[in-house]
Structure 1
Amino acid sequence: MKINLSKYIIIAASTLVLGSCSSDFLDQTPTEFISEDAATADTDALYLALNGIHRSMYIRYESQGQTGVGGIMQQMDIAGEDLVYTASNSWFSSVYNWTAPSNENSSEVRFPYRTFYQIIRNANAIINNADAASGPQADKDITKGQALLYRAFGHFQLVQIYGKRYVSGAANTQDGVPLVLSTTDIVGRSSVEDVYKQVNEDIDVAIGLLNGYKKKNNSHLDLPVAYGLKARVNLVQGNWLIAADNAAKARAGKNLMTIAEYTAGFNDNSNKEWMWGSHVVEVQTAYFANFGGYMSRNFNSAVIKACPKAINSKLYNQIPATDVRAAIFSKTGAHPNVVLVAAAKKFPYTSQKFLSVSTGDSRCDVPYMRAAEMYLIEAEAKAKLGAADAAQVLFDLVKKRNPSYVLSTNTGQALADEVMFQRRIELWGEGFRFMDLKRTNSDLDRTGANHNSTLTGGVLSVPASDKRWQWLIPRDEINANPLVKQNDL
């Protein structure tokens, strides 16, 4: 039986139903579902629907490697130059060699598109029905505010992947992505400018609704997360003052990790520095499809044993020995402080940043936003502004990672470049590199490092002008919705 997904919403314990702006493309039979009316009838149902979105961030999608938003984070780093494949494997290899972005039939291209539009669609069900639901107004505001942030997050990620880069000061009339604001929308692509306008509007409304809300755990989205998302968006837009101001608000009251905490495995979303992340409980584990099944160093999976993830050797060799971030990679590949299975292959520069629960348990909480990122956004934006305290903001972060770090004397673009270096080593593996290259109009450069040209398909450099920076819209979506125009082939 074919289900029209515009009438249904996923509940917290369900298997994900993929949704987008074209129901024909994404109509699939859910394992568990309730009608949209039932899912939004009262505030208890709204919370259940919201928890379903939280859950959808880290479950398995079409294939084992498609580990929710954590899987898309992997794609965004694999397409960059800082994450290195150490051996041949089938895990997102077409992203690593840049063939996927120009293949409209690629499952890797389809994965982010379906994932984020499903999140958007379920968020829309809450947004558009919360006011009419029965129950306390405060609960309506809390669920609606978080749903608005999910919708903003989904559209923001999509426009960065499938649209042309945002150019500060320009009209930005280039094609973005479809703006889906209801569960029944079938629309064409909005301009990049209009997408960013809607994203900012959604965040602003959410900020008003979430004022005073105290979340129970970091799976939920609160005011600091809203400020953090606002900072991200405006960093991409080049709205430096707005980005810096919101980043400062987002990190207010948050403590940075100690050096000991930094090397603990990046696997606990209750970490004092984390602002937003998914906690994978044992009864909801996806086993080999967890984030830790691909990004950890210690789990006993074929991909980790054969192809552990490494850092770009040129980047690593710039990290001072006194910096704790050097310690989350093993230059020799021996990993003396990590328990590895006997069959694990060893390669230089491999990562032990992410550690799963054990060799037999791949659970690893997924970080979506940390206070450290907010320092970096604030420092970069203030460097662009020429603010007097830009270097001090950077110092306040880096001194926690490297006790020998001294206040930078750089200013302007030189300081912004220094911030970017710190961003690359601080946020390695957290899904930012492809988008950072794209927003700064930078070339991809894997040359002179430990990338194997055979594994990259010979792709060691890609100019910023290359059309593959705009991933193709999935062919199935275009077939289902003729209003959607394809990117340049």
Structure 2
Amino acid sequence: MKNIKKQYIKWAVVLSVFTGMVSCESDYLETDPTTAASEEAAYSSAANLMAIVNGMHRDMYSRQNDSQGQNGQGGIMIMMDALADDLVFPSTGNGWYVSTVRWQDQVNESGSNDFYPYQFYYALIRNANLVIANGPSVPTPTAADAATIKTAIGEAYAFRAFCYYMLVQIYGKRYVPGANNTQLGVPIRLVANEIPLARNTVEEVYTQINKDLNEAATRLAGVTRATKSHFNDKVVLGLRARIALTQGNYAAAVTAAQSARAGFDLMDKTAYTAGFNNLAGNSEWMWGATIIADQGDTFSNFGAYMSRNFNSTNIRQAPKAINSKLYQMFLNKKDVRIDNFDPTGAHTALALPSTYSKFPYTSQKFIAASQADSRVDVPYMRAAEMYLIEAEALAKLGDEAGSKVALNTLGKRRFTDPDVNNYVGTSATGAAYLTEVLNTRRIELWGEGFRFLDLKRLNQGLDRTGANHSSVVTNNVMTVANTDLRWEFLIPRTEINANPLIVQNPL
């Protein structure tokens, strides 16, 4: 387990106290005993402590394990959608994520993509644990220093909660609302050491997640963050809403979602079709990553795989498409969301060169900075998601009228008719209405990494049939029952070899 346990403190910048000059973002301080002096310096000031947190946010969009397809959180978002039904790969292209589409990654315990989420999130957890443990002893000569330390520790708790939420969903059994949830989750590691730990239950992991969110909320209350890449109290509320929905705590999900989105106005029609590449200026985006020019990684940015216009082999040969059945559901509803997809695949407004392969229903939701620059802002959380959480939770509480208020508020903002008075909300009721809420969630959050986890959360199977999925690309993996063992990724072999207490998921 050495590859997982021996992690690094990643810095956004290394201050002059260490190098005599300001260095680039890729410098590291190793945390093992041979470099104890460097680690001591890391906790010598509030600014240095916050530099660790800045490095963690930088890691959210950085290449992992020297693999260009493993681009931090963005790469995992692509994997979570590639496993499901709504993100369509019309060709194999040059092979990126095709093994994911074919459900081969999670059954290969020695595979890079099985290891990737495990290593990525536990690396962030290790750094969060270091900040939480050492933050209280950092000197506070001024009130501003004390505030910085409080914020850094608050963000570390939020990071830890977010990472455990992702880990338990990917490697653990689904959470069953109302049950004891004694099924195996993942090890809860709250100290940055290498002591072998057994897997905690799913319920225990969610208990720790909620405990960490409470700590984060307290420490981040009223904090003004520097950029939307950082956590604040609203993002913590958004995470609380997600987690409450997963646990079936629907009343709590409604309350958290309503509070989280306050102050984040839904984007208008123009902004919705502008390429999802303006985190700072978009009123709806609550949390995300902006990759600045000197920190980009040309073939490892999110946009190198999910944009329509970047000039790479992957984009030219394997542009990403929407499930044609999902597209057809919204075709006649004057819904701006379908304008981000071209049923012809021509994308004439983008003036794509003839070398770009054209396939029906391809997406232009994500537009890179240019054909030579793959940078795209990565969306981690938007206000639209909060409306959808509220709509789903209220429907499941039996408050269909209240649910429709939330769904229609979002629907009106996605209505293309200039006269919004012409908007007519759904007339569906009961199970049909809930299905409409969930389908709206599918098209609204397309490409943002939710679909596989939603299918698992809802205890639904995979169904790619009758749409535009290629049997060659999917290797005929068109349906997967909700009871299939492959909904849980195998624990990586690296972890099992080093940790005698780990129990592998059944295969």
> How does the TM-score come out when normalised to structure 1?
0.94
- Paired AA for residue 208 in structure 1: T
State the AA in 1 paired with 2:9.
I
1:116-127 equivalent positions in 2, closer than 5 A: 116-127=121-132
Pair 1:325 & 2:337 matched: yes
- 2:114 paired with 1:101: no
- Select which of 198, 217, 236 maps to 2:227: 217
1:137: Cα distance to partner?
2.4
> Are positions 1:203 and 2:213 aligned together?
yes
Among 356, 359, 363, the residue aligned to 2:375? 363
Distance 1:17 1:416 in 2: 48
Distance 1:3 1:164 in 2: 25
Say which is worse superposed, 406-415 or 432-441, in terms of deviation.
406-415
Q: How does 1:431-450 map to 2 (within 5 A)?
A: 431-450=449-468
1:382-401 aligned at under 5 Å gives the runs: 382-387=394-399, 388-401=401-414
- Count of matched residue positions in the alignment of Structure 1 and Structure 2: 479
Q: Which residues of 2 match residues 60-71 of structure 1 at below 5 A? A: 60-62=63-65, 63-71=67-75
CA shift in 2, pair 1:18/1:261, >3 Å: farther
2:78 matched residue in structure 1: 74
Alpha-carbon distance, 1:4 to partner: 10
1:9 aligned partner? 9
Deviations 1:444-468 (A, max 9, x none): 0000001111210110000000000
Q: Which residue of 2 aligns with 1:476?
A: 494
For structure 1, the 5+ residue unaligned runs are none
Q: 1:336 to 1:33 in 2, by over 3 A?
A: farther
Correspondence 1:307 to 2:313: no
Q: Find the aligned partners of 2:101 and 2:52 in 1 and give their Cα distance.
A: 35
Question: Match for 1:260 among 258, 265, 270?
Answer: 270
Q: 1:309 & 1:295 partners in 2: Cα distance? A: 6
CA contact (8 A) 2:185 2:201 kept: yes
1:143 matched to which residue of 2? 152
How far has the Cα of 1:222 moved from its partner? 0.3
The Cα offsets for residues 76-95 of structure 1, whole Å up to 9 and x where unpaired, read as 00000001111113111111
Map of 2:306 onto structure 1: 295
Supply the distance in 1 between the matched residues of 2:407 and 2:213 (Cα, whole angstroms): 26
Amino acid at match of 1:9: I
Following superposition, the deviation at residue 386 of structure 1 comes to: 1.5
2:170 corresponds to? 161
Aligned residue type for 2:505: N
Give the secondary structure class of the aligned counterpart of 1:431: coil
1:483 and 1:35 map into 2 onto residues whose CA distance is 32
The alpha carbon displacement at 1:106 in A equals 1.3
The answer on whether the counterparts of 2:7 and 2:123 sit within 8 Å (CA) in structure 1 is: no
Partner of 1:41: 44
> 1:341 Cα shift?
3.2
What is the one-letter code of the residue matched to 1:91? W
Residues 65-74 or 39-48, more deviating: 39-48
CA pair 266-18 structure 1, distance change in 2 beyond 3 A = farther
Deviates more, 1:476-485 or 1:194-203: 476-485
Per-residue deviation at 1:201? 0.5
Q: What is the alpha-carbon root mean square deviation over aligned residues?
A: 2.1
Cα deviations by residue, 1:289-312 (Å, 9 ceiling, x for unpaired): 111111000000100000000000
Deviation at 1:343, TM superposition (A): 0.9
Q: Which residue of 1 aligns with 2:58?
A: 55
1:269 aligned residue = 279
Q: Is the Cα contact below 8 Å between 2:4 and 2:123 reproduced in 1? A: no
Number of the residue aligned with 2:327: 316
* Structure 2: distance between partners of 1:395 and 1:34: 57
Kindly provide the amino acid, as one letter, of the partner of residue 176 in structure 1: G
- Structure 2: give runs of 5+ residues left out of the alignment: 14-24
Task: Give the direction of change, closer, same or farther, for the CA distance of 1:437–1:99 in structure 2 (3 Å limit).
Answer: same
AA aligned to 1:141 is K
Deviation at 1:409, TM superposition (A): 3.5
1:337 paired with 2:355, answer no
SS in 2 for 1:308: coil
Deviation at 1:185, TM superposition (A): 4.9
* Corresponding position: 1:281 with 2:284: no
* Residue 417 (structure 1) aligned to one of 435, 442, 451: 435
**Partner Cα separation in structure 2 for residue 346 and residue 258 of structure 1:** 29
Structure 1 counterpart of 2:42, which letter? A
SS in 2 for 1:102: coil
Given that 1:394 and 1:419 are in contact with CA atoms closer than 8 Å, whether structure 2 keeps it comes out as yes
CA contact (8 A) 1:18 1:118 kept: no
Q: State the alpha-carbon separation in 2 of the partners of residues 354 and 40 from structure 1.
A: 39
* 1:390 alignment partner AA: S
Q: State the secondary structure of the residue aligned to 1:478.
A: helix
Please give the alpha-carbon distance, in whole angstroms, between the structure 2 residues aligned to 1:53 and 1:116.
10
Conservation of the 8 A alpha-carbon contact between 2:310 and 2:373? yes
SS in structure 1 opposite 2:186?
Answer: strand
Q: What letter matches 1:161 in structure 2? A: I
For residues 447 and 435 of structure 1, the distance between their equivalents in structure 2, rounded to whole angstroms, comes to 19
Letter in 2 for 1:333: G
Conservation of the 8 A alpha-carbon contact between 2:8 and 2:29? no
Q: How far 1:420 moved relative to its partner?
A: 0.5
Output the CA distance in 1 between the equivalents of 2:151 and 2:252. Answer: 24
Tell me, yes or no, if the aligned pair for 2:10 and 2:29 is still in contact at 8 Å. no
The residue type paired with residue 169 of structure 2 is Q
Q: Whole-Å Cα distance in 2 between the matches of residues 3 and 331 of structure 1? A: 45
Query: Structure 2-normalised TM-score?
Result: 0.91
